[in-house]
Amino acid sequence: MEQSSLFGDGVDIDTETSTTAETTAPTDAHAQAAARAAELRHELDYHAYRYYMLDAPEITDAAFDKMLVELQEIEAAYPDLVTPDSYTQRVGGYVSEQFTPVTHMARMYSMDDAMDLDELDAWLQRTEDALGAGNVTYTCELKIDGLGVALTYQNGTFVRAATRGDGTTGEDVSLNVRTIKDVPMHLSEPALTHMGADRERTIEVRGEVYMPKGSFVRLNEEADAEGRDPFANPRNAAAGSLRQKDPKVTARRDLATFIYAIADTDPLHVHSQREFLDWLRSAGFSVNPNVARCATPAEVHEFCAQALEHRGDLDYDIDGVVVKVDSFQQQLDLGFTARAPRWAIAFKFPPEEKQTVLREIRIQVGRTGVLTPVAEFDPVTVAGSTIARATLHNIDEIRRKNVREGDTIIVHKAGDVIPEVVGPVLDKRPADSVDWQMPEVCPVCGSPVVHEDGEVAYRCVSIDCPAQLKERLLHWVSRGCMDVDGLGDEIVDKMIAAGLIHDVADFYQLTVDDIAGLDTGRTYASSNSKKGVKKGDPIPVGLKTAEKIIVELNKSKSQPLGRVLFALGIRHVGKSVGEVIAERFLSIDKLILASEEDIAECEGIGPKIAASVKQFLAVPENLAVLERLRQAGLSLEVDLGAAHAQAAADAGVAGELADAQPLAGLTFVLTGTLVNRTRDEAGAALKVLGAKVSGSVSKKTSYLVAGPKAGSKLTKAEQLGVPVLDEDALEQILATGQVPQA
C-alpha cells in the first residue's frame, strides 16, 4: 500500500447509461413491495429535505442509509418499480430559493455506499472482474463529512462557488466561500504553466467544506450560552454556516476545505487521480494528506481498518472511506449508473452507540444566565473515552427526544467529540417515569426564572446570581464598559475566592489593603532576605498595583449612564443601545419608571430589547445593586451639557459648531477605508454636529463618504444619484460645519 500526502474523489465525466425494465406480473409480494417502495421514497425525500435544505436532520446517517439500501434491494428485485423520481435514481440534495441558482459545468454525482466489508468486497470483485484481476490500482481517501462545493476559476482567478444542490444546479455561495481562508483566490503560476495552452480555460474543482471539531465545540458552547438551538454535528454546522445570507457570519465560523475532484480533467493534462492531486496541491488548494494508493483489495481493507481506528484522532469529522479506481481511462471504461460512478464506492463506518441509564437532569447556569439542562448518566465508554454527562440544550430538545430521568438512553458522540443523548429505549422505561420540567426559580440563587415568548431559553436575570458572577464582573471592568485598567481574570478570580466581591457594586467598597494582600497564584523563584521572602512563598498583588486599581475604580465612577447600562450586562443592551436609552430617559430613575412601551419607542430599540430591560429592572436584587452604585458615587443620570461637550471633544469638533448643530436633517453613509479616522470615529463626529449616520444607502441619503476599497454602497449611491464625498471633503465638513454646494 503506497502512502501519499494527496488524495481525491475522482473525476465526474457524464456517461450515458441505459436501463432495461423487466416486466413483473402482479402478485401479493409485488403489491407489498410496491407499497413499501412508495413509503421509503416518501421517507427518503422528507429526510433528505431536512438534511440538505434545513440543515436539521431528524434521523442519523445510518438510519437514512438503511432505508436507502432497503429501497435499492426492492427495486433490484422488482425492476418495474423503479421510478424516475426515486431517490436511487438521482443525486441527493435540494436547491434553495434564497440563493442564485448555478448550473455546474458537469453533473456532480452521489456515490454508492458499502455498509459493511461484504458489500465492499462485492464491489472490489466486480471491479476486478471488469478490468482484470491485478490490473487495477485503487486510491483510498477519508470520507469527509462536510458540504459538497464546486469552485470555478477562469484564467486562474476565482470567479464563483456553488453548493452541490441537486447535482446539476447548486446555490451561489461565492461571497461566503471567499471568507474561507484556505480557498485560493488565484491559482499558482506553476499550476497554470502545467496547463500550457489551456491555462485560460474555465475549470471547476469540487470538494468538501467542513468545520473542525474544535470550532464545532466552541460554536455549540456559544449557542448554549445565548440560549440558541445547537447544531447537531459538524456537517450541519458547516452547511448552516456556508449558507448564511451575511458573509460576516460565515467568516466567524472557522470553515475549511478539502478539494479532490474536477468537472473536466482535459485542461490539466493529467491521467490519474494521483497526478490530478499533485496538480491540485501545486495550485494552492487544501488537499487531505490521509490517502493511500492500494494495489490489492487486501491493502484497501488495511486502509479502511486504520481509518476506523484513528478517526477519533482527527480534527474533522469523517464517516467512512472512499475507494476509487485511480486511472482516469479505467474510470471512463467503467462509467456511471443513473446516480453514481461505478468506479468508486463509499465504505461507511458504523456509528458507535452505547446504552446507559439517565440518573438525573441537572440545571447548569451559564454566564449570561441561560439555564441549560444536562443529562447525568452512568459512565460509559464511547469512541475511546468515558462519558457520564451530556448537554440536553433546552426544554424543546428534551421534549423532542422524549427523555426522562430513569430512562435507559442511547448515547454517542456528535462529530466523535461531543457526548450526545440520541434518545430513550422506550421498552425499558420505568412505569412511574414522568415528563421533566424546567424549574421556576434559579437553582443557584433562587431568583425567578424568565422565559420570553418565541425563545427556547429560560434565564436567570438576577445580577446577584453566583453562577454568572465572574463573567459579569469581568464585563463590568472591560475597556468598552467601565474601562478599569489592571483588573483582569486572575485578580478577579482571587477577589471572588477571598469573598471580597459578590456583585459589581462591591468593586467600589474595596480598599488598597484588600487588594494588596491578595495571592497572585505565583511564588517567588528565590529567597530575598531584604524583602523577608523565601523561595516558594506566594507572591501578593502588592501595594503599587493595588493603588493603581483603586485609582482606576474611582475614575470609572465618571463613566456616562450609557456605559453603565451596557456594563450591567442587560441582555440585548450593547454600547450603542445603552447610549440611546440614556439619551432618551436621562436618568436611571426615569428609566425604572418607564413602561415597556416607552422604552420600545426609542429609535432602534423595539419590543425585544425593551422587554429585556424591564425584566432586569423588575428584579429587586438588581435595583439594590443600582442603589449601592449610586451611593458609591457613580453617575446614574445624564449631564446633557457635559455629555455634549465631551462628545465634541472626543470627536475633535469645535464646541461652538457642536452647539449650532449645522448638519441637523442630513443623513450620511460611510464606506471604504478612512485614513484620518475610523468609520466609527467619523460617524461619531458627524452625529455631534447633528447629522444622522446610516448603515445603508437609500434615496433619503444626503451624502456618501467613500474611502479606498469602497464596494456595493458606492455603486448604489451612484445609481441613485447620491452625492459622493472623499475623506478630504469629510474633514472640511467637520472643521466648518458646511457641506459642499451642489
Question: Looking at the predicted structure, is the pLDDT value of residue 9 above 70?
Answer: no
Q: pLDDT class for 27, splitting at 50, 70, 90?
A: low
Radius of gyration of the chain, Cα coordinates, nearest whole angstrom? 32
Give me the helices (H) in 227-272, please: 234-242, 247-251
Q: Which residues contact 99 (CB under 8 A, 6 or more apart)?
A: 163, 171, 172, 173, 243
Largest CA distance in the chain: 104
Q: How far, in Å, CA of 692 to CA of 683, rounded?
A: 9
Q: What pLDDT does residue 25 have? A: 42
Q: pLDDT class for 223, splitting at 50, 70, 90?
A: confident
Q: Which of 509, 498, 505, 514 is nearest to 546 (CA)?
A: 514
Residue 612: enclosing H or E segment and its boundaries? helix 606-617
Domains plus CATH for the chain?
A: 113-348 (3.30.470.30), 466-556 (1.10.150.20), 561-638 (1.10.150.20), 650-736 (3.40.50.10190)
What single-letter amino acid sits at 355?
Q
Q: Is 700 exposed, middle or buried (0-12, 13-18, 19+ CB in 10 A)?
A: exposed
Q: Considering only 201-210, 221-230, 303-312, 408-417, which range has the smallest mean pLDDT?
A: 221-230
pTM passes above 0.85: no
Q: How far, in Å, CA of 727 to CA of 289, rounded?
A: 49
Quick: pLDDT tens for 475-500. 899 888 899 988 887 888 889 889 99
Q: How crowded is residue 115: how many other Cβ atoms within 10 Å of its Cβ?
A: 18
Q: Is 741 exposed, middle or buried (0-12, 13-18, 19+ CB in 10 A)?
A: exposed
Q: How far, in Å, CA of 363 to CA of 379, rounded?
A: 19
Pairwise pLDDT comparison (455 vs 158), residue with the higher score:
158
The dihedrals phi and psi of 538, each to the nearest 5 degrees, come to: -65, 140
Q: Considering only 46-50, 186-190, 675-679, which range has the smallest mean pLDDT?
A: 46-50
Catalytic residue among 66, 143, 401, 555: 143
CA triplet 613, 617, 620: central angle to 5 degrees?
A: 155
Cell numbers at 39, concatenated:
413509503
Q: What are the start-end ranges of the E strands in 176-331? A: 202-210, 256-262, 291-294, 318-325
Percent of the chain with pLDDT over 70: 89
Cell numbers at 429, concatenated:
422505561
Cell numbers at 196, concatenated:
500550457
Q: What pLDDT does residue 97 have? A: 52
Q: How far is CA 98 from CA 101, 152, 171, 291, 658, in A?
A: 9, 20, 8, 36, 45
Question: Looking at the predicted structure, is the pLDDT value of residue 12 above 50?
Answer: no
Q: What pLDDT does residue 583 have? A: 84
Q: What pLDDT does residue 383 have? A: 66
Q: Which residues contact 424 (CB under 8 A, 6 or more apart)?
A: 358, 401, 402, 403, 404, 407, 408, 409, 410
Q: pLDDT class for 7, splitting at 50, 70, 90?
A: very low
β-strand pairing of 538-540 with 667-671: unpaired
Quick: pLDDT tens for 336-383. 887 789 999 999 987 678 899 999 999 988 777 889 999 999 988 776
Give the mean model confidence (pLDDT) for residues 150-174: 91
Q: How far, in Å, CA of 467 to CA of 371, rounded?
A: 10
Q: What are the start-end ranges of the E strands in 164-315? A: 169-171, 202-210, 256-262, 291-294
Quick: pLDDT tens for 517-559. 888 777 777 777 777 777 877 788 888 889 999 999 999 998 9
Q: How far, in Å, CA of 358 to CA of 428, rounded?
A: 12
Cell numbers at 187, concatenated:
491559482
Give the mean model confidence (pLDDT) for residues 394-413: 92
Quick: pLDDT tens for 252-305. 888 999 999 999 988 999 999 999 999 999 999 999 999 999 999 999 999 999
Quick: pLDDT tens for 196-212. 989 999 999 999 999 99
213 is catalytic: no
The dihedrals phi and psi of 268, each to the nearest 5 degrees, come to: -90, -20
Pairwise pLDDT comparison (87 vs 460), residue with the higher score:
460
Pairwise pLDDT comparison (612 vs 708), residue with the higher score:
612
Q: Considering only 49-58, 105-114, 312-321, which range has the smallest mean pLDDT?
A: 49-58
Computed over every residue of the chain, the mean pLDDT equals: 84
Percent of the chain with pLDDT over 90: 40
Q: Which residues contact 692 (CB under 8 A, 6 or more apart)?
A: 666, 667, 668
Strand partners, 371: 365
Quick: pLDDT tens for 79-88. 888 876 676 7
Q: How crowded is residue 223: how many other Cβ atoms within 10 Å of its Cβ?
A: 17
Sign of torsion over alpha carbons 290, 294, 296, 299: negative
If DSSP codes are grouped into helix, strand and coil, which group holds residue 598? helix
The answer to whether 705 and 669 have CB atoms below 8 angstroms apart is yes
Quick: pLDDT tens for 29-70. 888 888 888 888 877 876 776 665 555 666 776 777 788 888
Q: What pLDDT does residue 19 have? A: 35
